[in-house]
Amino acid sequence: MSRYPTLRSCGYELDRTIGTGGFGKVKLATHTLTGEKVAIKIMDKTKLGKDLPRVKLEISALKNLSHPNICKLYQVIETESHCYVVMEYCSGGELFDHIVEKSRLSEMESRMFFRQIISAVSYLHDNGYAHRDLKPENVLLDREQNLKIIDFGLCAKPQGGMDSLLLTSCGSPTYAAPELIQGVKYHGSEVDIWSMGVILYALLCGCLPFESDNIDELFKKILKGKYIEPGWLSSGSKRLLRRMLCVDPLKRIRISELINDPWISLGFGCPPSTKNHNVDRCKDTECLEVISQYCEIDKEIIWSRISKWKYDSETATYLLLLNKKKYGAPLVLK
């Protein structure tokens, strides 16, 4: 008998555990109606304690975000004891493992991945969010090697907008900006740029710019902002890294400059997309028709319920059908 009867009754067949964290575990599952694979983050509310606000924050952020390079939310299921967050399954694993596998990536492959991160982070910032915990472990790949940013448990949506200052020190020290580890007030957008610089360095060099087993040593290195520039780095990539890993946040490159940096457009002929994807909540009559026929309910009534975006079972079925359509899979419900 499954340990999570709720999930089976909500239309999911659980498979193996694909990861764990302080929050609980993430399991692979299949959405029975569409046959699509999903990742379900399972949290025991009685054990979350002080982490409960982080869970609520992440769910609220994921409900507001819709971008091809941000992990999609399909459904949220809450019981007395548990919270289940049903999300897009990223079968390509962690970006970090991809880098380790290839020891380091070519400039072109690094650029191809990094442009997707720029597109996602500029969308995040445009919508008033700072991620604050960007690192290769929080960047996954889907089956087509598209990047998906995950883990919004530390993200911030400052009350006064992206120009207001934050103070909470959070995220992993290895990727944390100098101002963040110093405990001074900082802008969320600026600390994200620093973390993106660490990720770009990892892509191009196959190692981290600031490393030490001793936390004090690590902090000293970050505050000095000095790192090794391997011989294979082009002058363009060295220049860009210096502008991102700039200790003074006021002199650090801004996302708008990053988007238009010449190194980023090399070989692509244009800057990364900064399109606002909230329009992805479009009405797809083909998918509505499939649900309407399956439930034998008029599709306008179905749409009136789905367009409330309650992230219930109807939202999940609709979004998963949209996914199938995107991959050219047959639009059928079992």
Ligand X SMILES: CN(C)C[C@H]1CC[C@H](N2C(=O)N(C)Cc3cnc4ccc(-c5cc(Cl)c(O)c(Cl)c5)nc4c32)CC1
Question: What residues does 139 pair with on adjacent strands?
Answer: 149
Burial group, residue 265, by CB count within 10 angstroms (0-12, 13-18, 19+): middle
Give the Cβ contact number of residue 281 at 10 Å. 11
Measure CA of the first residue to CA of the last residue in the chain; give whole Å.
Answer: 23
What's the closest the beta carbon of residue 123 comes to ligand X, in angstroms?
15
User: 76 or 291: whose CB is closer to ligand X?
Assistant: 76
Comparing CB distances to ligand X, the nearer of 175 and 227 is 175
Interactions with ligand X, residue window 60-89 (CB under 6 A): 71, 87, 89
Binding test (CB under 6 A) with ligand X, winner from 26, 118, 120, 202: 26
Lookup result for tokens 């801004």: 254
Closest separation between CB of residue 212 and ligand X, Å?
21
Residues 145-204 that bind ligand X (CB under 6 A): 150-153
Angstrom distance (rounded) from CA 120 to CA 260: 15
CA–CA separation, 166 and 188 (whole Å)? 7
Question: With binding defined as CB under 6 A, does residue 19 bind ligand X?
Answer: yes
Closest CB to ligand X belongs to which residue? 19
Closer residue to ligand X in complex, CB, 152/194: 152
Q: Which stretch binds ligand X (CB under 6 A): 17-25, 110-118, 224-232, 268-276?
A: 17-25
CB of 39 to ligand X, least distance (A): 3
Catalytic annotation present for 133: yes
Q: Please, which residue, 15 or 289, has the CB nearer to ligand X?
A: 15
**Crossing angle for the helix pair 95-102 and 188-205, nearest 10 degrees?**
30
Say whether residue 39 binds ligand X (CB under 6 A). Answer: yes
**Given the complex with ligand X, which of 55 and 264 has the nearer CB atom?**
55
Which candidate in 44, 51, 97, 133 is catalytic?
Answer: 133
Judged by CB under 6 A, the number of residues near ligand X is 19
Query: At what angle are helices 299-306 and 285-295 packed, to 10 degrees?
Result: 110
Length in residues, the chain: 334
Runs of H (alpha helix) within 185-234:
188-205, 215-224
Exposure class string for 131-151: b at 16+ Cβ within 10 A, else e: bbbbbbbbbbbbeeeebbbbb
Beta carbon of residue 147, minimum distance to ligand X (angstroms, whole number): 12
**Cα 273 to chain centroid, rounded:** 16
Furthest CA-CA distance within the chain: 65
140 is an interface residue for ligand X by CB under 6 A: yes
Q: Does 59 bind ligand X (CB under 6 A)?
A: no
Task: Give the catalytic positions in this structure.
Answer: 133
Residues that bind ligand X (CB under 6 A): 18-19, 21, 26, 39, 41, 58, 71, 87, 89-90, 93-94, 137, 140, 150-153
